[in-house]
């Protein structure tokens, strides 16, 4: 169904905007709210633009970009905060990957759940 990477959501510190891909409007409101808080707090803390993107295989990755001349962007803080968020939100991120693989890529849930650690 999807042959390219798909943006789940993004937060932009420069424009002070948050975006949730309308394809994910069916996610529970609590999940949507948690994604928004997570992304906005990230960009408020370190700056730049944070995007959560599904790769073609369904893996959810964090992408961070900053304007070249942005002297306030905290590159070290960005890496540390990203690692902390990935650790603290591990279950949410794994559930989102499963959701994407089942509902967007059409993979079999039985096979997916059997291969999870």
pLDDT tens for each residue of 76-87 = 999 999 999 999
Residues 6+ apart with CB under 8 A from 15: none
Q: How far apart are CA 27 and CA 32, in angstroms?
A: 6
The predicted model scores a pTM of: 0.90
Asked whether the predicted pLDDT for residue 117 surpasses 60, the reply is: no
- Report the distance separating Cα 36 and Cα 21, nearest Å: 12
Q: Residue 37 pLDDT > 60, yes or no?
A: yes
Residue 110: pLDDT over 90: no
Q: What is the pLDDT of residue 114?
A: 67
How buried is residue 113: exposed, middle or buried, by Cβ count under 10 Å (0-12/13-18/19+)?
exposed
């Amino acid at each position: 169904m999807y042959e390219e990477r798909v943006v789940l959501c993004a937060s932009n510190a420069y424009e002070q905007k948050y975006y949730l891909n309308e394809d994910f409007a069916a996610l529970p409101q609590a999940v949507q709210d948690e994604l928004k808080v997570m992304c906005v707090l990230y960009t408020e803390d370190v700056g730049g633009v944070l995007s959560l993107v599904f790769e073609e295989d369904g893996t959810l990755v964090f992408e961070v970009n900053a304007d070249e001349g942005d002297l306030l962007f905290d590159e070290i803080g960005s890496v540390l905060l990203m690692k902390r968020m990935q650790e603290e939100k591990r279950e949410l991120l794994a559930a989102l990957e499963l959701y994407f693989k089942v509902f967007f890529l059409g993979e079999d849930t039985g096979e997916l759940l059997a291969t999870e650690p």
